[in-house]
Amino acid sequence: MPPTLPPLTPGTLYLVATPIGNLEDITLRALRVLRECDVVAAEDTRRTGQLLRHLDLSKPLLSCFHFNEARRSEDIIGRLRRGERVALVTDAGSPGISDPGERVVKATLAAGLRVEPVPGPCALVAALTASGLPTNEFHFIGFLPHKSGARRRKLEESKETAGTLVFYESPYRVEKLLGELAEVFPERPVTLARELTKKFEEFLRGRPAELLERARQRPWKGEFVVLVGPVDTPCFGPAPAEP
């Protein structure tokens, strides 16, 4: 017989990682936490509701997104003090990584309550491990500011940062980012990872100018992870032909 697992701890905030694309990437532990928790705090209750229905689960949902996270933290803390077990999820990946969650965690710990991570999918890790760039040291920057001046300053500051640089970017601004990288990091190798774990997952590798030229040849969809190799990292060989 399989071992009996201990029940969830009352008064605990569980940070549950959810699939970033492929629904098979939910962990057994995440399934158990979502099944046994009292309530799910979600970045988008509609999207999380769809995931729970796919998993054949039904739970009360609380919205917890960027603009109500501070206020919602008070509600979550009240529930935890009453002994409830709260699962916090975002639309995809690990809560708190360029997603809501950081404020809730800080408030929960400040209140002397317990936080437990339930690890799983994360676009940052998935892209880095398959990028072909050094993984022994990396710096996660996330989304750059929208304003051009602030973006350029952040990139210039990053020139002095050791290790592989990792950015998140939307398909609407990835061409702009490649143009900026071509100016700031013209000789460094770059890997673009898009649609991670999905049917059209794609990795593109080369120097910024090479990738910019490819970006101008066809529209790209899906969220991007953009990785820039450290100084003196050898560039990749010729890019494979388009499928």
Predicted confidence at residue 6, as pLDDT, reads: 87
Q: Please determine, for residue 241, whether its predicted confidence score (pLDDT) is greater than 90.
A: no
Query: What average pLDDT does the segment 71-88 reach?
Result: 96
Let me know if the fold of 12-118 is the same as that of 123-228: no
pLDDT digits 0-9 by tens, 185-204: 999 999 999 999 999 999 99
For the ranges 35-39, 53-57, 188-192, 219-223, the lowest mean pLDDT is seen at 219-223
Q: Using pLDDT thresholds of 50, 70 and 90, give the confidence band for residue 66.
A: confident
Query: What average pLDDT does the segment 20-48 reach?
Result: 97
Predicted confidence at residue 222, as pLDDT, reads: 87
Q: What class does CATH assign to 12-118? A: alpha beta
For domain 123-228, the CATH superfamily is Tetrapyrrole methylase, C-terminal domain (3.30.950.10)
pLDDT digits 0-9 by tens, 87-121: 999 999 999 998 999 999 999 999 999 999 999 99
Q: Please determine, for residue 238, whether its predicted confidence score (pLDDT) is greater than 60.
A: no
In the chain, where are the structural domains located? 12-118, 123-228
Q: Please determine, for residue 2, whether its predicted confidence score (pLDDT) is greater than 80.
A: no
Q: Using pLDDT thresholds of 50, 70 and 90, give the confidence band for residue 4.
A: confident
pLDDT digits 0-9 by tens, 200-216: 999 999 999 999 999 99
* SS3 per residue for the chain: CCCCCCCCCCCEEEEECECCCCHHHCCHHHHHHHHHCCEEEECCHHHHHHHHHHCCCCCCEEECCCCCHHHHHHHHHHHHHCCCCEEEECCCECCCCCCCCHHHHHHHHHCCCEEEEECCCCHHHHHHHHCCCCCCCEEEEEECCCCHHHHHHHHHHHCCCCCEEEEEECCCCHHHHHHHHHHHCCCCCEEEEECCCCCCCEEEEECHHHHHHHHCCCCCCCCEEEEECCCCCCCCCCCCCCC
For the ranges 48-57, 175-184, 225-234, the lowest mean pLDDT is seen at 225-234
pTM here is: 0.91
Q: Please determine, for residue 179, whether its predicted confidence score (pLDDT) is greater than 90.
A: yes
Predicted confidence at residue 48, as pLDDT, reads: 97
Q: Please determine, for residue 224, whether its predicted confidence score (pLDDT) is greater than 80.
A: yes
Average pLDDT, the chain: 93
